Structure 1
Amino acid sequence: MHTPNSSTTSTKALPSGPHILRLSSSPVQRLYRSSCPRLSSRFLQLDLRSAPKISSVLPVGCQISRISEDHNQCIDISATTPFNSFGMQATKSRELIGIRVTGSGPFPGVICLHTINGGVGENKASLLANHGFITLALAYLNYEDLPKSATNLDLEYFSEAVNFLKQHPKVKRPGIGAVGISKGGDVVLSMATFLPDVRAAVIINGCNASAIIGMHFKNKVISAGVGYSLSRMRVEDSGVANIVDIMNEVNKESLIPVEKAEGTILFVVGDEDKNWKSTNYANEAIKRMKKHGNEKFDLLTYQGAGHYLEPPYFPFCYASYHSVARMYTMWGGNAKDHAFAQEDMWPKVQSFLKKTLNN
């Protein structure tokens, strides 16, 4: 935890408009331990009655959350310029705290998880905060002191984040939501399956098993990581990789027992996803839920959409660097259909979250 140092940065009063800050985690070992320090023990030292050091803060439709009334410390935050509703990108900040919409509340709370490339998916968190949610954009890989890669994740880490957000006085009871894309999607699926407080889960082009990185909880493996083989990767004429076939078959040891989920799950897929076969994964998860009598799911399928389904009006991403392939890979889809999917899906995601969490 960093305390303000007036010798390096001048303390500024918070702007009158709403703003966004971020939450990361420490230490590295917490991803691999089943009994790790509580998130609250790290973050309840924050007291926003005194202004933290901030530069370049841009109002975006959400405002800073006051976390503690009993402590006097505040963290050092540098150059925090978040996404706004038109997609302006944030510069790097030191910690991610959470986002609260203006008003007395209570509001539904949502955790947002990014891809296996790591970092913080604050664009989705910011969008949802603009529409009446308290959101927490949670890093789990490749951010600050977090590991750049991992072979196993500990669900206890994500459980702590759930408890942290749920206990916020402005968050609506009894449960929270979670949104994840790609690898973040199967993490959210595990959260919905094993953490009863996750009442609404949105899986965007995710896997029905723990992909590449395994997951354990309370010293037990709950899903072995599905392996892959780069020998099945193809390099297209454009020079970018096609990795849609590199994943191994999902086996019994890696499947997430999604039928145990107590909450409701919304699967969102682009049928031209070239990262992996997300349509198959969603259909298999739904098939398993139906087999066990669990009908608490819905499915949105978008023709012509690829893997990276982002908030509306974000540009279509043909290819970008993939940390597993270690080269630029194509994500699939075509610009027109993908753009339509992004514009169509987010109001439906918001409606799903509000309907489920407000019930």
Structure 2
Amino acid sequence: MSQPPDIAPILTVLDEALHGGRCLEAAAALRTLSRLVPQDLRVRAALARALFAAGLWQEAWDAYEVRFELLPDIFPKVSRMGPNGPEPMPIWRGGPAPEALLVMGEQGLGDTIQFARYLPLLQARGVRVHAVLDGRIHALLAPLLAGIDLRASGTAGRVQGVKSWLPLLNLPQALGLRPQEYRGQIPYLAADGARVARWRARIGGEGLRIGIVWQGNPAAPVDRHRSAPLAAFAPIAALPGVRLFALQKGPGEDAPAPFALERLGPEMDQGPDWFLDTAAAMVALDLVVSVDTAALHVAGALGRPALLLAHGRESDWRWQQGREDTIWYPSVRLVRCPDGGADWRAAAARAAFLIRTGNLPAAA
């Protein structure tokens, strides 16, 4: 039996083309390659990345289904009772809206915050929506999802009257949205007024108040390309009149800072509900500078001015290639590490330049 061809060198060449800005060429070559080796998950994943980077969104959503084969543990399991026992429930792929629909959250908290904006669009089409999402952010999302049956993920359950379902990140495609409609109404989240008042009093009004986030979830496979050392934020800390506030929670929260950094204390987001105090503090601050993690999505959903520090080469598919803006959040600007690498201090120095010159995104 002949050995399958070694396609690793081909993927390396196409990856160079993709990150060199030749996204359409890379996508075309990967389409051909995926037809030749349709079972190769590396090729299919690279094709999805190239299609997103090229802005070929509808084709990219189809290709992005590979995520469930790459990470089978994240794929929700939904079944219904058939004549011979439990059987898979069909996924709604679009078209006439069903009377009721089960939407299952997937991946991280940031993904849920980013894509929850589309759930009310289902309601607007007369769909009775049941959403199974991470319980830690139910309180944050509750005002957005009024009238939706919101259930916590991680436990088995039964929903009556539902004949189809879909994963949360499938919503833009199933709803037939065009890329210019992905943004929707911004802001779509709001901080609690009483919390905002408390954090405004705590933070005060002096200086240019900047909240920073430097660490994502270290258990996530993508974390090595998105988390930065806290020390890398030194160029921002050195700006005259700047006050830095730590919005970091969880891993990395206690990292020592080689510059003045104001900690908001253990009472911030203490308890089972996440990001309620973070959202309020963001409203009380002038700017957020964050790596690619859930807090950045909170800032974007609130319409708060934010700079996203991103790896120069391995940034996530949703930020595309070579862009400083994003189709998701008008108040977020990308600052990429130079030379396609992970020089986070250089990215922070670029962010410091933007701050010093006032070249910042406006609040939405």
TM-score interval, normalised by the smaller of the two chains = under 0.3
- Structure having the higher helix fraction is 2
Larger radius of gyration: 2
TM-score, L = length of structure 1? 0.25
